Amino acid sequence: MLLVDDILESGRTLAFARDLLMSRGATRVDLAVLLDKEGHRKAEIEADFVGFSCPDYFVVGYGMDVGHAFRELPFIGHVLD
């Protein structure tokens, strides 16, 4: 099974989803993410397939938003402080 997500940050949600799928009979769950923010990991989890490593920026675009804005951008950008 392949679990796909936009960004792997703390890892809590993907770890929960992977463990749930395994408990329900999946023999293998690979993880694919567009962006990987390794510096924010709270759960012990790594993606099997990573599009890009992401520095510690708040990113928007491709469905990721800030206050429901910028979700529709056809690229990934970061919000300046």
Catalytic residues: 9
Residue with tokens 């993410």: 33
Residue with tokens 């408990």: 23
Per the CB < 8 A criterion, the answer to whether 45 and 33 are in contact is no
Give 59's strand partners: 78
